[in-house]
C-alpha cells in the first residue's frame, strides 16, 4: 500500500484509503475453513450452479419468442462468451485460493472501496437468485398438484394486493430455504453430498431426455414449412445469445469455494473448464431435442419439455422431467446458499462488514452466523416478493463483477511484484496513485551519475545488480526492450504497470461509450449517420490502441498456476461483452442498482472504512524506517527516518563499518 508523500493533502490521503489493496499472507493455503473439496466436488458445484431451472424453462421461452431452432447457435455463442469470463475466474481462483470470489480478486488488484461495492452487489445477486429459484421451485411443485398449495394459502391464511409483492405469502419457498440453510450449516461436506445427490439425479434425467428425445425427433420440424432453422435471422440469434448468456451464470461458485479445495491450483481451472463444457453441452443438446420433437412455434414457455413429451403421447415422461427439474433447482439453490455466506465471511474477515459474520464454527468449519442470517433473509424475500420483481434486478451485479475481474487480470499480469509489509507479493494497479516512498527509495535514483543511490537493504542492492546484469528482458510492466528506442522517451518515465493501468481504464471507458452508441445512438439519441459512424470509429480506435499499448509491455510469464491465454485480448473481449449486456438492461434495473449502491456506500463509510484490517495495519506501521545510502565514493551510510505527525521526515545519518560497505561493493563487482 502506498504511503502518503510529504505534504500530501487530506484528499490524497482519503483517496489512498479508498484504493488501498489487500495484503495476502505468505501461506495462502492457511485457512480457518476446512480444505476437503476435490476436483469432482468443485465440478459438480459448478454444474449445479449453471444447469438449473433454465434448462427446463429458458430453452422453451427463447426458442419460441426470440430465435427459433437456431437457439443452438445462440447457446454456442453464449457459451464462448461465458468461457472468457470463466478463464479470468479460474486464474484468480488458482493463484489466490481465498474465498470471496470477485470481491477478493478486486481487493488485491483494484482497491478497497471497489471490492466492497462488488461484494455488496454479489450479495444481493445471490439473495435474489436464491429467492427467485425458491419461488420457481414452489410454483413448479404447486402446478403438479393443480395449484392446491396456492389456493389453500389464499383461502385459509392470507393474501394481499401490494405492488412488487406476491399475491400471497409463499410459505413453501421460504420453508425450503430455511431447511436448506440448516443443512448447509452442518459443514461443507454435507453441502457437497447433497449437491452430489441432486446433480446426479438431474444429469440422469438429462440423459433420459436426450436419448428418448432423439428417438422421437422429426427433422421436418426444422423445415421451411415450420419457419426454417433461423426464422428470426441473425438479429434473433444475437438477441437469443444475450439471454442465453445468463444460463451460464453460476460458475463463480467454484472460485468462491477455492479456500475449501484440497488443491485449488489444479482443481479450480479443471473444474471450471469441465463444468462449463458440461453445462454448454446440456443446453445445446436439450435445445436440439426440444425443437426436433415439436415445432418451435408451438412450445409451451412455462414447461416446454414436459409439454413436448405429453403432446407426443408420453405423459409419463413428464413426471421424470418434473423430478429432474426440481432436482436441478435444488442444486442452484444449494449453490446460492453455499457461496453467499462465504462472500459475507470474506468481507467480515477483512473488517469491511460486521465482525459477527467472520466467526467460524470450530466443529463444522463454516461461517454459521452468515449462513443462518442470510438464509433467513433470503427466505423472507422469497416469502413476500413477486418472482418477476426479483428477476428484473438479477444479473447487473454479476456482469459488473465479471467486468472487474477481467480488468483485474490485465492489471495484475503487467504489475511487478512488490514486497508488502508482511513480506508478501502485493500490487497496486491504480494508475493515478502516488508512488510510495518505499518503492522509490528501493530503486536507483540515477545509476550513472554521482547522486545518492538508495536501497532498502544489502539484499536489495544485490538483487538490483543481478537484475542489471540481464539486459535481455525488461522488468514486468515496463516497455519491451524492442520498443524502448521508439517509445522510451514518451513512456519510459512511467512506473512499471502505470501505463497498463491507464490503458485498462481507457478500455472500460471506450467499451461503455461504444456500447452506448450502438444501443442508443439511432433510437433514443437520434444521431445522424455521420455522427454515429464517427463515434464508433473513435471509440473503436481507443479500444484497439489501448490493447496495443498493453501488448508493448512486459507481462509476468513465470507462474505455476493457470493463466488466462491471450492477455490482454481475452479479458478485454470479456469486458466488452459484459458491458454490452449491461446496456441492454432496463432503466428500472439501473435505478434499483443505483439505490443499492447508495446503501452500500452508507454501510462502507459508516462501518467498513473504520474497521478495515488494512487500515488498522497501516496505523500499526512502525514510526521509523531505515535506509542504506551508497555515497558516490562507495561508502555506505544508514539513514534513520522518523515519521512526524504532519507527514514530514526527520532524517539522521549513521556511518556503517567501511569493511561492510566494501564487502557489498566487492560482491556487486563480482556479479
pLDDT of residue 7: 52
Task: Give the Å distances, CA to CA, from 207 to 34, 203, 248, 282, 285.
Answer: 34, 6, 19, 9, 10
Q: Bigger pLDDT: 394 or 491?
A: 491
Asked if residue 469 has pLDDT above 80, the reply is: no
The contacts of residue 534 (CB under 8 Å, 6+ apart) are none
pLDDT of residue 473: 61
Q: What H or E segment, with its residue span, contains residue 291?
A: helix 264-293
Pair 441, 454: CB distance under 8 Å:
yes
What distance in Å separates the CA atoms of residue 574 and residue 404, rounded to the nearest whole number? 10
What distance in Å separates the CA atoms of residue 35 and residue 38, rounded to the nearest whole number? 9
Q: Once rounded to an integer, what is the mean pLDDT over residues 377-400?
A: 80
What distance in Å separates the CA atoms of residue 364 and residue 380, rounded to the nearest whole number? 25
Least confident stretch, 177-181, 396-400, 461-465, 484-488:
461-465
Q: How confident is the model at residue 621 (pLDDT cuts 50, 70, 90)?
A: low
Q: How confident is the model at residue 347 (pLDDT cuts 50, 70, 90)?
A: very high
Task: Give the Å distances, CA to CA, from 425 to 98, 364, 519.
Answer: 15, 31, 41
The contacts of residue 58 (CB under 8 Å, 6+ apart) are 243, 244, 246, 247
Q: Bigger pLDDT: 71 or 666?
A: 71
- Number of residues written out for the chain: 671
Average of per-residue pLDDT values in the chain: 81
Asked if residue 658 has pLDDT above 50, the reply is: no
Q: Once rounded to an integer, what is the mean pLDDT over residues 135-160?
A: 81
Q: 266, exposed or middle or buried, with CB in 10 Å at 0-12, 13-18, 19+?
A: middle
What is the 8-class DSSP label of residue 313?
T
pLDDT of residue 489: 82
What distance in Å separates the CA atoms of residue 375 and residue 356, rounded to the nearest whole number? 15
pLDDT of residue 491: 81
pLDDT in tens, 288-308: 999 999 999 998 877 788 888
pLDDT of residue 460: 46
Q: Once rounded to an integer, what is the mean pLDDT over residues 40-59?
A: 87
What distance in Å separates the CA atoms of residue 338 and residue 345, rounded to the nearest whole number? 12
Mean pLDDT is highest, among 332-341, 359-368, 441-450, 537-546, for 537-546
pLDDT of residue 349: 93
Q: Once rounded to an integer, what is the mean pLDDT over residues 377-397?
A: 79
Q: 208, exposed or middle or buried, with CB in 10 Å at 0-12, 13-18, 19+?
A: middle
> Peptide bond preceding 72: is omega within 30 degrees of 0, i.e. cis?
no
User: Under the phi-then-psi rule, with left for phi > 0, alpha for psi from -120 to 50, and beta for the rest, what region is 115?
Assistant: alpha
Q: What H or E segment, with its residue span, contains residue 393?
A: helix 387-393
Q: Once rounded to an integer, what is the mean pLDDT over residues 393-406?
A: 86
Q: What is the pTM of this model?
A: 0.80
Closest to 98 (Cα-Cα) out of 345, 417, 363, 379: 345
Three-state DSSP at 303 gives coil
pLDDT in tens, 478-495: 888 888 888 888 887 788
What distance in Å separates the CA atoms of residue 50 and residue 180, rounded to the nearest whole number? 18
What distance in Å separates the CA atoms of residue 394 and residue 392, rounded to the nearest whole number? 6
Name the percent of the chain lying above pLDDT 90: 41
pLDDT of residue 454: 43
Asked if residue 427 has pLDDT above 80, the reply is: no
Q: How confident is the model at residue 12 (pLDDT cuts 50, 70, 90)?
A: confident
Strands (DSSP E) found in 90-204: none
Pair 137, 329: CB distance under 8 Å:
yes
pLDDT in tens, 214-232: 999 999 999 988 888 999 9
Place of cell 445469445: 241
What distance in Å separates the CA atoms of residue 282 and residue 517, rounded to the nearest whole number? 35
Closest to 122 (Cα-Cα) out of 257, 252, 268: 252
Pair 437, 627: CB distance under 8 Å:
no
Pair 402, 578: CB distance under 8 Å:
yes
Closest to 94 (Cα-Cα) out of 258, 252, 253, 256: 258
Pair 422, 25: CB distance under 8 Å:
yes
- Grid cell locating 21: 489493496
pLDDT of residue 639: 52
Sheet holding 453-455, edge to edge: 453-455, 624-630, 636-643, 649-655
What distance in Å separates the CA atoms of residue 208 and residue 320, rounded to the nearest whole number? 9
Q: Once rounded to an integer, what is the mean pLDDT over residues 441-461?
A: 41
Q: Bigger pLDDT: 384 or 451?
A: 384
Please list the alpha-helical segments (H only) found in 604-657.
Answer: 609-611, 613-619
pLDDT of residue 558: 67
Q: Once rounded to an integer, what is the mean pLDDT over residues 191-220?
A: 93
What distance in Å separates the CA atoms of residue 536 and residue 540, rounded to the nearest whole number? 6
Q: Bigger pLDDT: 349 or 8?
A: 349
DSSP-derived secondary structure for 512-569: HHHHHHHHHTTTTS---HHHHHHHHHHHHHHHHHHHHHHHTBPPP---SS---SSTTH
Q: How confident is the model at residue 397 (pLDDT cuts 50, 70, 90)?
A: confident
List phi, psi (to 5°) of 553. -105, 160
- How many Å separate Cα 633 from the centre of its chain? 53
pLDDT of residue 301: 78
Q: Once rounded to an integer, what is the mean pLDDT over residues 152-180?
A: 84
Query: What is the Cα gyration radius of the chain?
Result: 28
Least confident stretch, 122-131, 137-146, 407-416, 514-523:
137-146
Please list the alpha-helical segments (H only) found in 160-244.
Answer: 171-184, 188-215, 233-244
Three-state DSSP at 97 gives coil
CB atoms within 10 A of CB 449: 10
Pair 280, 79: CB distance under 8 Å:
yes
Give the relative orientation of helices 188-215 and 39-50 as an angle to the nearest 10 degrees. Answer: 60
What distance in Å separates the CA atoms of residue 209 and residue 232, rounded to the nearest whole number? 27
Pair 249, 395: CB distance under 8 Å:
yes
CB atoms within 10 A of CB 136: 24
Closest to 548 (Cα-Cα) out of 506, 591, 589, 597: 506
Instruction: Report the first-to-last Cα separation within the chain, whole angstroms.
Output: 32
What distance in Å separates the CA atoms of residue 133 and residue 333, rounded to the nearest whole number? 6
- Grid cell locating 127: 439473495
pLDDT of residue 498: 87
Q: How confident is the model at residue 28 (pLDDT cuts 50, 70, 90)?
A: confident
Q: Bigger pLDDT: 517 or 393?
A: 517
Place of cell 521509523: 624
List phi, psi (to 5°) of 230. -125, 75
Asked if residue 606 has pLDDT above 80, the reply is: yes
Amino acid at each position: 500500500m502506498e504511503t502518503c508523500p510529504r505534504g500530501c493533502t487530506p484528499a490524497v490521503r482519503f483517496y489512498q484509503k479508498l484504493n488501498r489493496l489487500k495484503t495476502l499472507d505468505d501461506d495462502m493455503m492457511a485457512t480457518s475453513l476446512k480444505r476437503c473439496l476435490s476436483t469432482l466436488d468443485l465440478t459438480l458445484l459448478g454444474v449445479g450452479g449453471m444447469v438449473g431451472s433454465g434448462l427446463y424453462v429458458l430453452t422453451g421461452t427463447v426458442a419460441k419468442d426470440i430465435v427459433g431452432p437456431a437457439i443452438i447457435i445462440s447457446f454456442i455463442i453464449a457459451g464462448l462468451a461465458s468461457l472468457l469470463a470463466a478463464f479470468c475466474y479460474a486464474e484468480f481462483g488458482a493463484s489466490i485460493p481465498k474465498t470471496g470470489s470477485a470481491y477478493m480478486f478486486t481487493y488485491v488488484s483494484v482497491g478497497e472501496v471497489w471490492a466492497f461495492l462488488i461484494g455488496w452487489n454479489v450479495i444481493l445477486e445471490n439473495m435474489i437468485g436464491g429467492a427467485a429459484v425458491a419461488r420457481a421451485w414452489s410454483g413448479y411443485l404447486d402446478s403438479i398438484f393443480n395449484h392446491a398449495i396456492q389456493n389453500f394459502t389464499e383461502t385459509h391464511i392470507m393474501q394481499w394486493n401490494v405492488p412488487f409483492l406476491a399475491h400471497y405469502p409463499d410459505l413453501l419457498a421460504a420453508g425450503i430455504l430455511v431447511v436448506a440453510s440448516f443443512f448447509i450449516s452442518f459443514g461443507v461436506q454435507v453441502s457437497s453430498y447433497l449437491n452430489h445427490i441432486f446433480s446426479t439425479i438431474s444429469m440422469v434425467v438429462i440423459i433420459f431426455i436426450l436419448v428418448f428425445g432423439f428417438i422421437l425427433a422429426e427433422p421436418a420440424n426444422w423445415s421451411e414449412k415450420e419457419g426454417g432453422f433461423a426464422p428470426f435471422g441473425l438479429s434473433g440469434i444475437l438477441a437469443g445469445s444475450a439471454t442465453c448468456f445468463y444460463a451460464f451464470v453460476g460458475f463463480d461458485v467454484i472460485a468462491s469455494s477455492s479456500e475449501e479445495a484440497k488443491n485449488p491450483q489444479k482443481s479450480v481451472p479443471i473444474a471450471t473448464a469441465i463444468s462449463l463444457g458440461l453445462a454448454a453441452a446440456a443446453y445445446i443438446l436439450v435445445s436440439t431435442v426440444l425443437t426436433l420433437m415439436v415445432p418451435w412455434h408451438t412450445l409451451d414457455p412455462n414447461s416446454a419439455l414436459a409439454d413436448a413429451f405429453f403432446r407426443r403421447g408420453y405423459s409419463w415422461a413428464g413426471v421424470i422431467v418434473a423430478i429432474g427439474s426440481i432436482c436441478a433447482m435444488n442444486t442452484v439453490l444449494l449453490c446460492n446458499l453455499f457461496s453467499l455466506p462465504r462472500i459475507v465471511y470474506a468481507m467480515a474477515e477483512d473488517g469491511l462488514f460486521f465482525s459477527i459474520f467472520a466467526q467460524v464454527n470450530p466443529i463444522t468449519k463454516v461461517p454459521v452466523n452468515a449462513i443462518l442470517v442470510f438464509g433467513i433473509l433470503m427466505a423472507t424475500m422469497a416469502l413476500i416478493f413477486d418472482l418477476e420483481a426479483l428477476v428484473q434486478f438479477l444479473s447487473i451485479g454479476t456482469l459488473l463483477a465479471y467486468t472487474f475481474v477481467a480488468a483485474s487480470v490485465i492489471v495484475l499480469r503487467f504489475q511487478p511484484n512488490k514486497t508488502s509489509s508482511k513480506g508478501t507479493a502485493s500490487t497496486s494497479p491504480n494508475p493515478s496513485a502516488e508512488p510510495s516512498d518505499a518503492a522509490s527509495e528501493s530503486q536507483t535514483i540515477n545509476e550513472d551519475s554521482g547522486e545518492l543511490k538508495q536501497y532498502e537493504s544489502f539484499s536489495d542492492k544485490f538483487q538490483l545488480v543481478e537484475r542489471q546484469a540481464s539486459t535481455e528482458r525488461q522488468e514486468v510492466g515496463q516497455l519491451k526492450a524492442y520498443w524502448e528506442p521508439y517509445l522510451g522517451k514518451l513512456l519510459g518515465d512511467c512506473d512499471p504497470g502505470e501505463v497498463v493501468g491507464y490503458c485498462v481504464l481507457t478500455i472500460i471507458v471506450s467499451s461503455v461509450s461504444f456500447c452506448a452508441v450502438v444501443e442508443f445512438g439511432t433510437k433514443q439519441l437520434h444521431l445522424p449517420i455521420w455522427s454515429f459512424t464517427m463515434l464508433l470509429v473513435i471509440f473503436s480506435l481507443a479500444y484497439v490502441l489501448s490493447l496495443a499499448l498493453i501488448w508493448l509491455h512486459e507481462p509476468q510469464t513465470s507462474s505455476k498456476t493457470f493463466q488466462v491465454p491471450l492477455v490482454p485480448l481475452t479479458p478485454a473481449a470479456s469486458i466488452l461483452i459484459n458491458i454490452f449486456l449491461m446496456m441492454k438492461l432496463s432503466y428500472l434495473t439501473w435505478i434499483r442498482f443505483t439505490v443499492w449502491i447508495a446503501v452500500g456506500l452508507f454501510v462502507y463509510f459508516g462501518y467498513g472504512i473504520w474497521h478495515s484490517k488494512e487500515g488498522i495495519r497501516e496505523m500499526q506501521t512502525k514510526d521509523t524506517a531505515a535506509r542504506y545510502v551508497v555515497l558516490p565514493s562507495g561508502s555506505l551510510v544508514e539513514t534513520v527516518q522518523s515519521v512526524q505527525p504532519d507527514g514530514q521526515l526527520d532524517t539522521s545519518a549513521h556511518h556503517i563499518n567501511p569493511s561492510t560497505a566494501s564487502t557489498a561493493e566487492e560482491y556487486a563487482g563480482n556479479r
